[in-house]
C-alpha cells in the first residue's frame, strides 16, 4: 500500500516536473518560465536600473569606453578596429540577441526547429530560394578578403562573448517563452542577415504572374496594363537634363521575348509598400548654406525594430547612424564630413526559366540541344519534436529549381529555375565599412562601387558642398522585355549575357536643380541606353520633387514636414474623375460631402481618406474582376496604371464585368456600383468597430513583435499617411527610420524610429520612439566627439580587456 | 512546532538555492527535507507548499512593483490569463507551491517505505510517535 502510494505520488511529481521543465504543447515550460528567480520575471527591467560601470571581457585588446545616452543608444569609443567591432557585436547582442538569431534562422529556413512542423513550407521555400546556399558563398567571399574577415570575426567574437555570459536567468524573454537556447554566432549568420535583406528587397519578381496574364489576356492587353516605361508620365531619379553616353555593352536579342504560358503557381507576394525615400539638397537651397540629407526606408513595422542606433568611433573615424543587428558597421548614417542614405533600386534582378529535365531523376536538363548536368543540394530541415524533413533542391547553371512537382505536389508541374543576382558571391558589407569612414565624393564612390545586391539608390552629401546619387548594384544586361516573362531555359539566347558596366549605372553629381532624390521610381528616362524593368513607384517621387523644387532657404523643420507629408497624389489624380462619373447619389450623400471638401491630406484624424481608400479598393476589385478569378496567380496592375486606364480608356473591355454576360459595363457603371458597395461597407464598419471612421482607426497601423505576439506589439497607432504617400505608413509597413542630417560645422542630426533600442518587451526602452514617430517628431542625435563629452542622462561604461 | 521549523528551514534553503540553482530547487529541497524529517502527509505537503508559495508570491510582487508591471500584464496576455497581472502572480505562487508541496509529499511517502513501521513507532529520541503529532 505504502509503496503504491509512493509510486503514485512519485509519478505525479515527476509528471509535474516534466511539464514544468520541458513544457507541453504550446505552453512554455511553466516552472522555468514562471520562477520569479530565473523565469520571465527576471526579464522585467526597472527604469532605475543602473548600468555597471565596468565589465571585464575576454577577447578585447584594450579597454573600450561606451556611453549609453538617455535612449540607450551606445556610443562606442575603441582604440582599435578589432575592439570596435567586438564591442558592437557584444552590445548589440545584449539588446537584440533573440531578434538577431530569429531573423537569421528565418533566412536559413530553420523556423521549424523552433515552432515545429507548421513552418515547413516556409523553411522549404527559403532553402529553395537558395538563401543558405548564397550565405555560404558570401562567407567564402568574406574569407578571401582579410579585412572583411577580421571585421566579421571580431563582431562574431563579441556576440559570442555575450552569449557565453548567459545562463537561463539572463536569456532573452523569447527563448524562455519558446523554450530553446541561442547557439553560437558565426560569420555565416551575418551573411544570412545580408541575404535576408537582399531577398526582402529584390527576391520577388512578377515574371510568373505576367506569364499567366499573357496566357489569359494575350500580349497586347498585358503590355497595355503592365507597361514598362511610360516615359512621359514619370519623374526619374536622374534628372532629364542629364545626358547619357552610348551603351558600351552589346547583346543579342531573340525574336520572342518570353513565354506566355499558364503556370499554376501563386508566387510569394512582395509588399508594394517596400520602398523608401531619400534626398539631399545643396547649400544653395538651405537656410544655413550647408547641405541637408534625408532618408526614410520603408520596411515592415516590427518589434524589435529592424534598426539599432549606434555611434562607432576609433582614433581614425567617428560615425553615427543605424545598424542592422547581426552585421557590423553603420548602414545609414553620417560622420563629420559626409552623410549617406539608401532607397531600394527596384530593377528586376531575378528572372525565371522553364527547365526541361531528361527524366524523373533530374540529373540532366536540356540546354542548346544537349543534356547538361545538374547538381543537387540535400536540405535537412530539422523540426521540433519530429524527425527532420529532407528536401532535394536541384541546381541548374541558372540557379536553383525553386518550383517543381515535389513542391507544388502537382505531377504535371512546370520546373522553374531562378537566376538572381543575390545568389552570386559578393561582399556588400565592405561598402558600409568604407562609407563609415568616407570623407568626400571620391571615397563614397570607391565605397559603393563593389555593391551588388540588393541594388540601392545611394544618396550622398558632403560638408564640402557636394550632393550626389548613384543607383548602385549589379544589374543584368537585358534585351527589351528580357525577364519580364518566364523564359525558355533550354536556349542560351534567353540567358543573361552580362551586366551593365558599373560606371554606366544611373548617377548624377551636383545637378543643376540643386537637389537629388529617389523614391523607388524609374531611375532614368527613356534616353538611358540599357533596357530594364521592375516594380516602380509613381507618386511619392513626384510629390517630393515638386516640393523640393519649390522650397528655398530650407530648414531642418521644413525637411521634417516633408518626410511626414500626407498629400495623397493618387487621390488628387483619381477622385475628381470618380466624383464626376458618379453623379448624384440617393444613399451615402454624407460621404460624398466629406470627399468634396477634402484637401487630399491623409491625416490621421481625417475621415475622407478612409472613404476614398475604401471606394478605390472596391472600384479596383471590380475593374480587375477578370484577374481576381485566377486567385493569386496574376498580379493586379499598379493603381497608377489603373487610373491611367480610367482616364484614357474608359470604354476598354477590361471595365466590363465578365460575370454579367447580358450587359457590357463601362467605367461609369463600375464607379456607381463601387460607390454603392462603399457606403454599405463603411456603414457596416462603423457598426462593427463602434468608433469614429477616422483614417487611423480605419487603417489601424500596428508595429508587431517578430513572433507575432500581439501583447508584445503596439496596435492602432495614431498616424496618417499611406503607401504611395511620402509619409508611407500603411497598416503594417512604413518609415522604419527617419533621419535628417544638416552638414554644418558641427553636424546637426535628427532621427526617430518606431521601436526602441532594447528588444526586450520587459524593458522601458522597448518602444521608446513610437510615440514621437507617430507624431512626426524627432530626437536630436547625440553625435559625440569624444567619450568624455557626457551630458545629463548619459552613463559611461568601461569594457575592460582581460 | 516541528512543522514550523521545517517550513522555515525549507524557506531558507530554497531562497539560498534559487540564487545559484534552477527553479526545481523548490522541488528538491522539500523532497529531501521530508525524507529526513518526519511529518504526516498533510504536513509534508504544506511544508513545501506554504514557504514556496509565499516566497514566489513575494518575489513576483516585488518585481512587479519595482518594474511598474512593465512585463506582467503582457505575459498575462500571452498566457491565457486575460491580461490580469494579479492572476499571473497568483498562478506563479500556486504553481510554485504545488510543485514544492507534491515533492514534499513524495519525499515523505518515500520515507515511509524506507523506514519500517516498527522503527517508526519510536523516534530517535525514544519518545512515542504521537508526541510529535500536533
A 9-38 residues with CB < 8 A to B? 9-10, 12-13, 16-17, 20-21, 27, 30-32, 34-38
Q: Which residue of A has its CA nearest to B14?
A: A37
Residues in A 163-192 with any Cβ partner in B closer than 8 A: 168, 173, 177
Chain A positions touching B112 (Cβ under 8 A) are 2, 5-6
* pLDDT of residue A204 exceeding 70: yes
Residues of B in contact with A34 (CB under 8 A): 56, 91-92, 95-96
List C-alpha distances in Å: A299 to A272, A276, A638, A769: 10, 8, 19, 16
Q: Within A385-522, where are the H helices?
A: 405-408, 429-436, 441-448
Residues 2-41, chain B, touching A (beta carbon < 8 A):
18-19, 22-24, 26-27, 31
Q: What are A33's three cell numbers?
A: 518560465
Torsion angle, alpha carbons of A184, A187, A189, A191, to 10:
180
Contact assignment for B77 to A711 by CB distance below 8 Å? yes
- Return the half-sphere exposure (C-beta side, CA atoms, 13 A cut-off) of residue A214: 20
Averaged pLDDT, A393-420: 89
pLDDT tens per residue across span A325-351:
999 999 999 999 999 999 999 899 999
The answer, yes or no, to whether residue A101 has pLDDT greater than 90, is yes
Question: Tens of pLDDT along A438-461?
Answer: 999 999 999 999 999 999 999 999
pLDDT interval class at A251 (50, 70, 90):
confident
Cα angle A137, A143, A147; round to 5: 135
Chain B partners of A22 at a C-beta cutoff of 8 Å?
none
Q: Identify all chain A residues contacting B73, using CB atoms and an 8 Å cutoff.
A: 711
Residues of chain A found within 8 Å of residue B66, distances taken between Cβ atoms: 46
Least confident of A22-31, A69-78, A603-612, B19-28: A22-31
CB contact under 8 A, A711 and B75: yes
Task: List chain B residues with CB under 8 Å of A12.
Answer: 102, 106
* Pick from A493, A523, A491, A521: nearest CA to A506: A523
Percent of chain A with pLDDT over 90: 81
Query: B48 in contact with A at a CB cutoff of 8 Å?
Result: no
- For residue B128, the 8-state DSSP code is B
- HSE at residue A549, side-chain half, CA atoms within 13 A, is 10
Among the partner-chain residues A5, A37, A46, the one whose CB lies closest to the CB of B23 is A37
Number of domains in chain A: 1
Across the interface, whether the CB atoms of B75 and A35 are under 8 A apart is answered no
In whole angstroms, what separates CA A201 from the centre of its chain?
5
Q: How many CA atoms lie within 13 A of A390 on its CB side?
A: 4
Tell me which of B6 and A597 has the higher pLDDT. A597
Asked if B71 and A43 come within 8 Å (Cβ–Cβ), the reply is yes
pLDDT at B131: 46
Predicted confidence band of residue B132 (pLDDT cuts 50, 70, 90): very low
Q: Residues A359-387: pLDDT tens digits?
A: 889 999 999 999 999 999 999 999 998 99
Nearest chain A Cα to B54, which residue?
Answer: A36
DSSP for A745-802, written as a single string: SS-EEEEE-SS-S---TTSTTSSTTHHHHHHT--EEP---SSTT---TT-EEEEEEE-
Compute the average pLDDT of residues A269-283: 87
Distance CA A470, CA A428 (A): 15
pLDDT-wise least confident of A264-268, A527-531, A579-583? A264-268
Q: Which residue of A has its CA nearest to B27?
A: A17
- ∠ at Cα B97 (B91, B102), nearest 5°? 125
Q: B69: nearest CA in chain A? A: A44
Structural domain includes residue A357:
no
Q: What is the pLDDT of residue A383?
A: 95
Distance from CA of B134 to the nearest CA of A (A): 22
CATH of the domain at A648: 1.10.1400
Q: Name chain A contacts of B111, Cβ cutoff 8 Å.
A: none
Rounded to a whole number of angstroms, the distance from the CA of B1 to the nearest CA of chain A is 26
What confidence tens digit (pLDDT) does each residue in B105-123 have?
Answer: 999 989 988 886 555 444 5
Region A11-35 average pLDDT: 87
Please say if the pLDDT value at position A508 is more than 90.
Answer: yes
> Is A39 close to B63, i.e. CB distance below 8 A?
no
In a domain, A169, yes or no: no
Are B23 and A35 within 8 A, CB to CB? yes
Q: How many Å separate Cα A629 from the centre of its chain?
A: 29
Of the partner residues A21, A37, A43, the one whose CB lies closest to the CB of residue B18: A37
At A633 the pLDDT is 85
Distance CA B96, CA B56 (A): 7
- Residue A598 domain-assigned (yes or no): yes
With an 8 Å Cβ cutoff, are A711 and B83 in contact?
A: yes
What DSSP element (H or E) covers A302? strand A302-303
- Name the band, by pLDDT with cuts 50, 70 and 90, for residue A611: very high
Q: Is A295 helix (H, G, I), strand (E, B) or coil?
A: strand
Encode burial over B15-28: b for 16+ CB neighbours within 10 A, e otherwise. Answer: bebbeeebbbbbbb
Which residue range(s) make up the domain with A662?
569-699
Task: Using an 8 Å CB-CB cutoff, list chain A residues near B68.
Answer: 46-47
Distances (CA, A) of A669 to A94, A578, A590, A683, B23: 60, 11, 21, 22, 69
CB distance A36–B63 less than 8 Å?
A: yes
Q: Does the pLDDT at position A77 exceed 80?
A: yes
β-sheet bridge partners, residue A334: A320, A339
Gap from B127 CA to chain A (nearest CA, Å): 24
Q: How do residues A681-722 score in pLDDT, each as one tens digit? A: 999 999 999 989 999 999 999 999 999 999 999 999 999 999
Residues in chain A closer than 8 A to B87 (CB atoms): none
Mean pLDDT of B63-70: 95
pLDDT at A26 over 80: no
From the list A17, A40, A763, which residue is nearest B75 (CB)?
Answer: A40
Which pLDDT score, from 0 to 100, does residue A92 have? 98
Spell out which residues of chain B touch residue A20, defining contact as CB-CB under 8 Å: 23-24, 95, 99
Give phi and psi for A551, each to the nearest 5: -70, 140
Backbone angles phi, psi at A579, to 5 degrees: -65, -40
Q: Which of A2, A3, A44 sits opposite B70 (nearest CB)?
A: A44
Query: Where is mean pLDDT largest: A485-489, A596-600, B20-24, B33-37?
Result: A596-600
Q: What is the distance in angstroms between the Cα of A166 and the nearest Cα belonging to chain B?
A: 13
Q: Which residue has the higher pLDDT, A174 or A18?
A: A174
Environment class of A660 (CB within 10 Å of its CB; exposed 0-12, middle 13-18, buried 19+): exposed
Distance linking the first and last C-alpha atoms of chain B: 8
Which residues are paired to A8 by β-bridges? none
The answer to whether position A651 is within a domain reads: yes
pLDDT tens digits for range A665-683: 899 999 999 999 999 999 9
Residue A103: closest CA among A307, A272, A361: A307
On the question of pLDDT at B134 being above 70, the answer is no
Chain A residue with Cα closest to B66: A46
Ramachandran angles phi, psi of A318, nearest 5°:
-150, 115
For the CA atoms of A119, A124, A129, A131, what is the dihedral angle to 10 degrees?
70
Of residues B24, B78, B99, nearest to A177 (C-beta): B78
Stretch among A19-28, A150-159, A634-643, B20-29 having the lowest mean pLDDT: A19-28
Please, what is the average pLDDT of chain A? 94
Contacts B78 to A, Cβ<8 Å: 177, 709, 711-712
Q: Which of B66, B71, B110 sits opposite A761 (nearest CB)?
A: B71
Cell of A340: 549617406
Contact at CB, B27 and A37, closer than 8 angstroms: no
Query: The C-alpha cell of B30 is what?
Result: 522539500
Q: Please tell me the predicted confidence (pLDDT) of residue B127.
A: 52
ipTM metric:
0.90
Q: What is the pLDDT of residue B117?
A: 57
pLDDT at A630: 73
**pLDDT interval class at A760 (50, 70, 90):** very high
Amino acid at each position: 500500500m505504502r509503496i503504491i502510494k509512493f509510486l503514485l505520488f512519485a509519478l505525479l511529481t515527476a509528471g509535474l516536473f516534466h511539464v514544468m521543465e520541458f513544457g507541453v504543447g504550446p505552453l512554455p515550460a511553466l516552472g522555468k518560465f514562471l520562477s520569479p528567480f530565473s523565469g520571465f520575471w527576471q526579464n522585467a527591467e526597472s527604469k532605475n536600473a543602473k548600468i555597471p560601470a565596468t565589465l571585464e571581457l575576454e577577447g578585447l585588446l584594450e579597454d573600450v569606453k561606451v556611453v549609453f545616452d538617455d535612449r540607450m543608444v551606445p556610443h562606442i569609443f575603441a582604440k582599435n578596429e578589432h575592439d570596435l567591432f567586438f564591442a558592437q557585436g557584444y552590445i548589440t547582442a545584449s539588446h537584440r540577441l533573440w531578434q538577431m538569431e530569429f531573423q537569421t534562422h528565418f533566412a536559413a529556413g530553420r523556423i521549424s526547429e523552433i515552432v515545429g512542423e507548421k513552418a515547413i513550407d516556409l523553411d522549404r521555400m527559403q532553402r529553395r530560394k537558395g538563401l543558405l546556399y548564397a550565405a555560404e558563398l558570401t562567407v567564402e567571399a568574406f574569407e578571401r578578403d582579410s579585412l572583411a574577415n577580421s571585421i566579421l570575426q571580431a563582431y562574431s567574437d563579441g556576440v559570442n562573448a555575450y552569449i557565453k555570459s548567459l545562463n537561463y536567468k539572463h536569456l532573452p524573454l523569447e527563448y524562455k517563452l519558446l523554450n530553446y537556447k541561442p547557439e553560437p554566432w558565426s560569420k555565416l549568420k551575418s551573411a544570412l542577415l545580408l541575404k535576408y535583406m537582399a531577398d526582402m528587397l529584390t527576391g520577388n519578381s512578377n515574371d510568373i504572374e505576367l506569364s499567366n496574364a499573357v496566357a489569359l489576356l494575350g500580349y497586347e492587353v498585358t503590355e497595355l496594363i503592365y507597361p514598362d516605361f511610360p516615359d512621359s508620365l514619370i519623374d526619374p531619379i536622374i534628372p532629364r537634363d542629364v545626358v547619357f553616353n552610348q551603351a558600351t555593352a552589346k547583346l543579342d536579342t531573340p525574336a520572342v521575348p518570353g513565354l506566355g504560358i499558364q503556370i499554376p503557381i501563386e508566387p510569394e507576394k512582395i509588399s508594394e509598400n517596400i520602398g523608401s525615400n531619400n534626398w539631399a539638397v545643396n547649400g544653395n537651397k538651405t537656410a544655413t548654406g550647408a547641405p541637408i540629407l534625408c532618408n526614410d526606408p520603408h520596411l515592415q513595422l516590427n518589434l524589435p525594430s529592424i534598426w539599432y542606433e549606434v555611434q562607432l568611433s576609433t582614433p581614425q573615424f567617428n560615425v553615427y547612424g543605424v545598424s542592422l543587428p547581426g552585421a557590423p558597421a553603420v548602414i545609414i548614417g553620417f560622420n563629420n564630413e559626409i552623410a549617406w542614405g539608401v532607397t531600394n533600386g527596384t530593377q528586376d534582378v531575378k528572372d525565371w526559366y522553364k527547365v526541361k529535365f531528361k527524366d524523373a531523376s533530374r540529373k540532366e536538363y536540356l540546354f542548346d540541344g544537349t543534356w547538361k548536368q545538374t547538381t543537387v543540394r540535400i536540405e535537412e530541415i530539422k523540426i521540433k519534436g519530429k524527425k527532420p524533413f529532407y528536401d532535394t533542391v536541384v541546381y541548374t547553371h541558372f540557379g536553383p529549381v525553386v518550383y517543381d512537382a515535389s513542391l507544388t505536389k502537382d505531377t504535371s508541374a512546370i520546373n522553374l529555375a531562378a537566376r538572381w543576382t543575390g545568389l552570386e558571391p559578393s561582399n556588400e558589407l565592405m561598402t558600409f565599412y568604407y562609407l563609415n569612414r568616407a570623407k568626400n565624393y571620391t571615397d563614397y564612390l570607391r565605397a559603393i562601387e563593389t555593391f551588388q545586391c540588393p541594388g540601392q539608390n545611394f544618396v550622398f552629401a558632403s560638408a564640402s558642398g557636394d550632393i550626389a546619387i548613384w543607383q548602385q548594384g549589379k544589374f543584368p544586361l537585358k534585351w527589351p522585355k528580357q525577364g519580364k516573362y518566364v523564359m525558355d531555359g533550354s536556349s542560351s539566347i534567353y540567358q543573361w549575357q552580362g551586366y551593365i558596366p558599373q560606371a554606366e549605372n544611373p548617377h548624377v553629381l551636383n545637378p543643376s536643380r540643386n537637389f537629388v532624390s529617389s523614391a523607388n521610381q524609374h531611375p532614368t528616362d527613356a534616353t538611358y541606353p540599357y533596357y530594364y524593368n521592375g516594380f516602380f513607384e509613381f507618386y511619392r517621387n513626384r510629390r517630393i520633387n515638386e516640393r523640393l523644387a519649390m522650397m528655398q532657404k530650407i530648414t531642418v523643420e521644413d525637411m521634417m514636414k516633408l518626410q511626414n507629408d500626407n498629400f495623397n497624389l493618387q487621390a488628387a489624380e483619381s477622385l475628381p474623375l470618380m466624383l464626376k462619373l458618379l453623379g448624384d447619389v440617393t444613399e451615402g450623400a454624407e460621404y460624398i460631402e466629406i470627399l468634396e471638401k477634402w484637401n487630399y491630406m491623409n491625416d490621421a484624424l481625417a475621415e475622407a481618406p478612409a472613404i476614398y481608400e475604401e471606394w478605390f479598393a472596391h472600384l479596383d476589385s471590380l475593374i480587375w474582376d477578370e484577374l481576381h478569378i485566377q486567385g493569386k496567380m496574376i498580379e493586379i496592375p499598379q493603381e497608377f496604371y489603373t487610373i491611367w486606364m480610367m482616364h484614357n480608356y474608359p470604354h476598354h473591355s477590361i471595365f466590363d464585368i465578365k460575370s454579367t454576360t447580358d450587359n457590357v459595363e463601362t467605367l461609369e457603371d463600375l464607379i456607381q456600383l463601387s460607390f454603392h458597395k462603399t457606403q454599405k461597407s463603411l456603414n457596416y464598419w462603423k457598426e462593427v468597430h463602434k468608433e469614429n471612421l477616422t483614417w487611423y482607426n480605419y487603417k489601424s497601423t500596428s508595429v508587431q513583435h517578430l513572433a507575432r505576439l500581439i501583447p508584445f506589439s503596439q496596435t492602432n497607432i495614431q498616424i496618417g499617411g499611406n503607401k504611395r504617400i511620402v509619409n508611407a505608413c500603411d497598416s503594417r509597413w512604413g518609415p522604419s527610420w527617419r533621419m535628417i542630417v544638416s552638414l554644418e560645422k558641427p553636424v546637426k542630426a535628427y532621427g526617430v524610429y518606431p521601436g526602441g533600442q532594447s528588444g526586450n518587451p520587459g524593458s522601458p526602452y522597448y518602444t521608446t520612439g513610437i510615440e514621437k514617430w507617430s507624431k512626426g517628431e524627432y530626437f536630436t542625435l547625440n553625435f559625440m566627439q569624444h567619450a568624455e563629452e557626457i551630458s545629463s542622462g548619459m552613463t559611461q561604461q568601461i569594457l575592460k580587456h582581460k | 512546532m516541528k512543522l514550523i521549523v521545517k517550513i522555515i528551514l525549507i524557506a531558507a534553503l530554497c531562497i539560498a538555492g534559487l540564487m545559484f540553482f534552477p527553479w526545481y530547487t523548490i522541488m528538491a529541497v522539500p523532497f529531501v527535507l521530508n525524507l529526513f524529517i518526519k511529518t504526516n502527509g498533510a504536513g509534508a505537503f504544506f511544508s513545501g507548499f506554504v514557504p514556496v508559495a509565499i516566497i514566489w508570491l513575494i518575489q513576483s510582487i516585488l518585481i512587479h512593483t519595482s518594474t511598474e508591471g512593465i512585463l506582467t500584464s503582457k505575459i498575462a496576455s500571452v498566457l491565457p490569463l486575460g491580461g490580469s497581472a494579479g492572476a499571473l502572480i497568483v498562478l506563479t505562487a500556486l504553481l510554485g507551491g504545488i510543485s514544492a508541496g507534491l515533492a514534499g509529499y513524495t519525499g515523505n511517502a518515500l520515507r515511509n517505505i524506507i523506514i519500517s513501521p516498527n522503527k517508526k513507532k519510536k523516534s530517535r529520541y525514544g519518545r512515542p510517535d504521537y508526541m510529535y503529532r500536533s
